[in-house]
Structure 1
Amino acid sequence: MDLFVTAEIRKVVPLEQRIDEAVGALLRLMRQGSPLCAAFSSGKDSSAMMVVFFIAAEKALEEGIEPRLMVLHSDTRIENPVIHKLARSEMDKIRAHAMKLGIEMRVEIASPTLLDSWGPRILGGRSIPSFPMTNGDCSNDWKIKPMQTLRKRLLPVWGNGSECITLTGSRFSESAARGSKMRQRGESAYEPFRNRQGELCFSPLADWSTDDVWELLGLVRAGIYTSYTDAVDVIKAYADAGPTSCAVINDGIAAGGAGKGGCGARFGCHQCQMVKNDSSMEYLLEDPEYAFMAGLGKLRNFIAATQNDVSRRLWVGRTIKEGFIAIRPDVYSPAMMRELFRYTVTLDVLEYEQACDLGIEPRFRLIPADHAVAIDYLWSLNGHWDGFTAIADYLEIWNGVVRYAIPESPVIGCEQFPEPRFLHVGEDWAQACGDTWAGIRDPFMVAMLESCMEETTYGKSNPLRLWDVTQRTVDEQTGKQIEEGFTIDPESLLFFFEYEAERLIDDYRSYRENQGRGWTARWYLQYGLVKIPSMQVLRHDDAFKRTAFKRLIGVNGSTVDVEMLIEASSSWDEVDETVKKAFLSDSRRTALEDAKQSRTAQEAQGDLFALAA
């Protein structure tokens, strides 16, 4: 029984009445001819919602109505393997049951872009994990944004001129906070509401209690209700992992935008750092059936244990503001990126070998080949590692030359974050590099092929002429050519690993340690293995220039002399107020000033005690 919900929600209503009300509301939408779309996670609430939908759909078919439903699912690519398998299995059942009933059904999956995926994002040095008390933007990049992109592309087509209504499994009684948000949005179990983006959404189970949901799934398992699923796998997943679920997608769709404060899920991403302890993983690992996930738990715990170790961070800022870059712990250091990469690829190989022994498909894959190339590109682009370092490690691990075990008790360095310092570099990276050749254009390519290779102009204010580095596809809905984002060409990827990778690793071996010239990244672009959208060309050009500048001042490569950086930079008190405002919010600046005054007062008090002694 839900004890901690408001009185008006905690009404004792028979389940049959709850089902009749939800089915009646869905039937009204079907009779109106409203095209429907369902957000499906394979959790208990969305599963119950799909059961109710099919009850309504069968009634609609009896009335001669032909209901249509598009099911949308979000896959972060690092879902708990148990949930990943469950979701795929349940979606297959949805397709099969819809086909059996003659219901028009379409099932689509939203996933983050290649660069936003966990490997390139964290191990590639684009960001650090979202830890407790931080922004939690991972839920937006891995769940909300991909779903919004998919909905924007598919809903107008699915609606065929009519406005789609999105069904969610949100319930008032999930928590006091969620219930409050739902009321603010005007959600109800009787009629659709509009989210912030003006989209129509509907929560047919809004008034249901947790007991109602489990009772329905129990009746389905017992065969009292016949539906697309027997609910056995859903109930087993919760029984094995504890009473947890993820409602980020429901909240994101209902709100009509990005969520705030992180995902709050405890039964989703196996590398989630937004919770202190992953209780669902701990429950599962108590069962020998799920022992294959032990390495994933070790990796997550290693990342959590080292989150405040500033020696594992990169201290060189990436953005110029008011002529300065910040000198402070930022993303992971090149050494930490490579360490995590080695652990992660080792986990992939061990899982692959175990799966082969069992005669099954691997249950997870953290770094597929295209992600390895993306990480290698980013390492080279940003001057961390060069000479195909990531690919060298990748092949050595997969070929059985070496394996890397995750330490149970990692060595932790300094965990005190210092005040930010600032290094003057100039107005932009081109100015910082001076006369040094820098940027995305390769001197050899320009000299040898300038007159025989067609070039494209990128940018307007500072145009850059370059060979075409974009990937285009034909939109299946409009028939027009559209640019893809950052992509790895699949055919080139196959040829690269089959014929080129080992030779290139040997040829570029001398560039691997502390070079950071961007040789590898340029190779990927020149040979068409990596494709970038035109709107990102100038951004990548700036990154190449930044790498050239870092090499000029000796702070590129796998090791950075932090003491030298601190000595060359200016302290908080030595820069203008405009610089401070450019890098830090008002609240952060106030907090730093208060901390400084507190330390000064403590030091003064200490001096007085010393004099008195």
Structure 2
Amino acid sequence: MTAEQTDRPIQERWAEVVQHVKDEYLSDAQRWPWIVGFSGGKDSTVVAHAVFEALATVPPSQRSRPVHIVSNDTMVESPLVMAHLDEVSAQIQGAVDNLSLPITVARTRPDPDKTFWVLLIGKGYPSPNQQMRWCTDRLKIQPTSTYIRDNVSKHGAAVVVLGVRRTESIRRMRTVDKYENDRGTNLNLHSSITGAYIFRPIVDLTTDDVWEILGSFHAPWGGSHKKLFQLYRDAEGGECPVVLSKDEAPGCGTKNSRFGCWTCTVVEKDKSLQGFVDSGQHAYKPLIAFRDWLVSIRNDKTKRSAIRRNGRLTFDVSGKHIPGPFTIQARQEILERLLAAQAEFGTKLITDEEIDLIHKCWAMDLQQEERLANA
């Protein structure tokens, strides 16, 4: 973006973004549904705002393209963030109903047997880290990809609308440049889902542009974006992005990602939770303590099985032993500590269904250990 472009009033630049979204909505590919990735963060909120505003100006007879505003619940999101997402989603749904817009407000979740707690406590997966980031795929990529593929199957193709910006980070800039198209359209092929395309309507906006837009214009579904501003102030600003492919997975759980899963053990310190505590939300202290303890036990050999889940001893190229999953005893301790943190926090952190599945996993693993011992 040139200096001349950024010097123009934000009203002009915002009007161009909305018109850009409207033009693309009415393009020849309007039979393909739009799937708007909505995390509730600043960038996805600006995109949802633009889509909503653009759609409201399209004559009802031309609103033939269905739009899905889809958020993802990893089931271990920060409770404050989820409360904000729930509130905004309800506001959007209410406005959609009142205005009769062709918008579906949806939320994806991991499969019951692939939630964070079932995999960690039930099957003993070690706490995620930079080298073994199993959580991103199970909790984020798979649920949203399934939603996209279902729409591709139903309509032949789908367009994923994302709040990706070129200036977010060096990694994001490289990703945008890598998939930049030269076909004379606004759409890029999705990197891993056949039949899916990516539309990035705010790719050239800066962070300052995003905040100025949010501060200058009321939310089209009612109210303002003031609560979002406060949430960022309390969380110290960063956020985990919408992740749709393994190419983008490294952006989840980086040192700048402070607005995501409260259980994130990929980062050294959870600045988001600490930010909430520093801003007066002292109820989050037991969550911080639990998360830090979870980090500390990851490589504790006394809490890890010697063999992998396939029953084999594993060594790396240097001959160093690679431990297996958490032992049953360690998993029991993790669950006990989680339930204690839940009681202190006062809000459910794990569902009854997950606890039932965890106990089933333990029973199956104990049976397996008995068979191996008697073999």
Q: 1:164 to 1:204 in 2, by over 3 A?
A: same
The residue aligned with 2:364 is: 381
Q: How does 1:148-547 map to 2 (within 5 A)?
A: 148-157=145-154, 159=155, 163-186=157-180, 191-196=186-191, 197-198=193-194, 199-220=196-217, 223=218, 226-249=220-243, 252=244, 259-261=248-250, 263-264=252-253, 265-288=257-280, 290-319=281-310, 328-352=322-346, 362=347, 365-383=348-366, 518=367, 546-547=368-369
The residue aligned with 1:511 is: none
Q: How does 1:26-45 map to 2 (within 5 A)?
A: 26-32=21-27, 33-34=30-31, 35-45=33-43
Question: In 1, are the aligned partners of 2:309 and 2:325 still within 8 Å (CA)?
Answer: no
Q: 1:228 to 1:203 in 2, by over 3 A?
A: farther
Secondary structure of the corresponding residue to residue 274 of structure 1: coil
The residue aligned with 1:460 is: none
Q: 1:341 to 1:156 in 2, by over 3 A?
A: same
Secondary structure of the corresponding residue to residue 109 of structure 1: strand
Question: Which letter does structure 2 place at the counterpart of 1:175?
Answer: S
- 1:243 Cα deviation after fit: 1.3
- 1:20 Cα deviation after fit: 2.5
- 1:296 Cα deviation after fit: 1.0
Distance in 2 separating the partners of 1:62 and 1:248: 30
Distance in 1 separating the partners of 2:273 and 2:126: 22
Question: In 2, are the aligned partners of 1:9 and 1:172 still within 8 Å (CA)?
Answer: no
Question: In 1, are the aligned partners of 2:18 and 2:54 still within 8 Å (CA)?
Answer: yes
Distance in 1 separating the partners of 2:4 and 2:43: 18
Distance in 2 separating the partners of 1:10 and 1:187: 25
- 1:259 Cα deviation after fit: 4.0
> % of aligned pairs identical?
20
The residue aligned with 1:137 is: 134
- 1:13 Cα deviation after fit: 4.5
- 1:229 Cα deviation after fit: 4.5
- 1:10 Cα deviation after fit: 9.9
Question: In 2, are the aligned partners of 1:138 and 1:262 still within 8 Å (CA)?
Answer: no
Question: In 1, are the aligned partners of 2:187 and 2:198 still within 8 Å (CA)?
Answer: yes
- 1:305 Cα deviation after fit: 2.0
Residue 44 (structure 2) pairs with residue 50 (structure 1): no
TM-score by length of 1: 0.55
Question: Which letter does structure 1 place at the counterpart of 2:291?
Answer: R
- 1:272 Cα deviation after fit: 0.2
Q: 1:262 to 1:29 in 2, by over 3 A?
A: closer
Question: Which letter does structure 2 place at the counterpart of 1:52?
Answer: A
The residue aligned with 1:19 is: 14
Question: Which letter does structure 1 place at the counterpart of 2:77?
Answer: E
Distance in 2 separating the partners of 1:55 and 1:43: 18
Distance in 2 separating the partners of 1:341 and 1:22: 48
Distance in 2 separating the partners of 1:262 and 1:210: 17
TM-score by length of 2: 0.87
CA offset digits 1:224-262 (Å, max 9, x no partner)? x7544511221111011111111142xx2xx5x564446
CA offset digits 1:467-489 (Å, max 9, x no partner)? xxxxxxxxxxxxxxxxxxxxxxx
- 1:298 Cα deviation after fit: 0.7
Question: Which letter does structure 2 place at the counterpart of 1:194?
Answer: L
- 1:63 Cα deviation after fit: 8.3
Unaligned runs of 5+ in 2: 316-320
CA offset digits 1:359-388 (Å, max 9, x no partner)? xxx3xx2222111111111111111xxxxx
- 1:328 Cα deviation after fit: 4.7
RMSD between superposed Cα atoms in Å:
2.6
Secondary structure of the corresponding residue to residue 230 of structure 1: coil
Distance in 2 separating the partners of 1:187 and 1:88: 35
Q: 1:259 to 1:141 in 2, by over 3 A?
A: farther
Distance in 2 separating the partners of 1:339 and 1:135: 22
The residue aligned with 1:87 is: 85
Unaligned runs of 5+ in 1: 1-6, 353-361, 384-517, 519-545, 554-613
The residue aligned with 1:358 is: none
Question: In 2, are the aligned partners of 1:171 and 1:209 still within 8 Å (CA)?
Answer: yes
Distance in 2 separating the partners of 1:64 and 1:115: 42
Secondary structure of the corresponding residue to residue 173 of structure 1: coil
- 1:269 Cα deviation after fit: 0.5
Q: 1:154 to 1:219 in 2, by over 3 A?
A: same
Distance in 1 separating the partners of 2:22 and 2:174: 27
Question: In 2, are the aligned partners of 1:22 and 1:205 still within 8 Å (CA)?
Answer: yes
Question: Which letter does structure 1 place at the counterpart of 2:26?
Answer: R
Distance in 2 separating the partners of 1:27 and 1:262: 29
Distance in 2 separating the partners of 1:266 and 1:110: 21
2:104 counterpart (90, 95, 106)? 106
Question: In 1, are the aligned partners of 2:234 and 2:275 still within 8 Å (CA)?
Answer: yes
- 1:320 Cα deviation after fit: 5.3
Q: 1:242 to 1:60 in 2, by over 3 A?
A: same
Distance in 2 separating the partners of 1:164 and 1:380: 42
| 293-302 or 97-106, which deviates more | 97-106
1:146 counterpart (125, 143, 151)? 143
Q: Number of paired residues?
A: 360
Question: In 1, are the aligned partners of 2:306 and 2:324 still within 8 Å (CA)?
Answer: yes
Question: In 2, are the aligned partners of 1:57 and 1:67 still within 8 Å (CA)?
Answer: no
Secondary structure of the corresponding residue to residue 238 of structure 1: helix
